[in-house]
Amino acid sequence: MRYAGHAPPTQLSSDRSHVFRRRHCYHHQLNSQPVLRRVGVCLSAVLVQVTLFAQSFSPAMLRAVLCVRGARALLHQKHESPAARVAVVLSGCGVYDGTEIHEASAILVHLSRAGAVIKVFAPDVPQLHVIDHSKGQPTAESRNVLVESARIARGDVTALSHLNVQDHDAVIFPGGFGAAKNLSSFAVDGESCAVDQDVERVLKGFNKAKKPIGLCCIAPVLAAKVIPGVEVTVGQEEEHEGKWPYAGTSKSIAALGGKHCAKDVHEVHVDEQHRVVTTPAFMCNAPLHVIHDGIGSMVSGVLKLVGKIKS
């Protein structure tokens, strides 16, 4: 097929192709200019309207609008409660001679998830003794409760003597034999036990200030000893074929001056009058996740009493 007076398109020189492309771009720019002009006119009109609207307000009206907006912002800020400040008191590191590590970890995790500000404390005193956890037997070692507690607190731990009730909204005591050996002498003296003087000061101080106290596992014996008539739970009152190996502790609660309320491992007991929340935790032979959930309920109960729980 022949093209009259023209070469086929495939044979166009590169120079002519370049010319066609330039012409196409030029015509495209010409065609776009009316659209750009129309957009510019529209924007100018909008700016004029906005300016006229703003000028229609008197200075007094503008001040009134700003005051309303400021009041709304202030109201919004007032509805935002600050984070709960919670003290956690440890008794060493290790279930047989200090804090039960899983319980302490669960408390810290649930508090963190709820947005609480956490401060860890421990008494700066020697442990009653040191247990080889692989054998369950005492050793000749001597360890310090504060130093051992630093293992759980990742080094950020303060002597319990420095805990000021006014600086915190609540306090929580995890369990472990340390609560009965280092925070008190319950493991040795039973119902005639003594409580560490700083532990007693803290418990009585929070109780007097009507600030919530949380305890789990064996730790409720501390509250039973220093808060007359307090209601707590350490689980069931019968062993139930070994499921509750420390069920006898429930009888000690009454002898110490408290009232025992039987609960399952995933449950909590809330003493509204004394603002004390307790859960059995490892007083029961139960799966770790069930104990973790029960401790979570205890933490939630404490934060609800504080009135600063994160949804």
Q: Kindly list the catalytic residues.
A: 217
d(CA 223, CA 215): 8
Burial (Cβ within 10 Å: 0-12, 13-18, ≥19) of residue 92: buried
Closest listed residue to residue 203, CA positions, set 174, 235, 227:
227
Q: Given CA atoms 87, 93, 98, 101 in this order, what sign does their dihedral have?
A: positive
Q: Given CA atoms 2, 4, 5, 9 in this order, what sign does their dihedral have?
A: negative
Beta strands in 90-194 (DSSP E): 117-122, 131-132, 137-138, 157-159, 170-173
d(CA 205, CA 171): 10
DSSP string, 277-311: EEE-GGGS---HHHHHHHHHHHHHHHHHHHT----
Closest listed residue to residue 198, CA positions, set 227, 242, 162, 250:
162
The strand pair at 170-173 and 157-159 is best described as unpaired
d(CA 170, CA 205): 11
**117: Cα separation from own chain's centroid:** 7
Distances (CA, A) of 183 to 148, 207, 232: 14, 18, 18
Sequence-separated (6 or more) residues with CB below 8 Å from residue 228? 257, 258
Orientation of helix 101-113 relative to helix 288-306, angle to 10°:
50
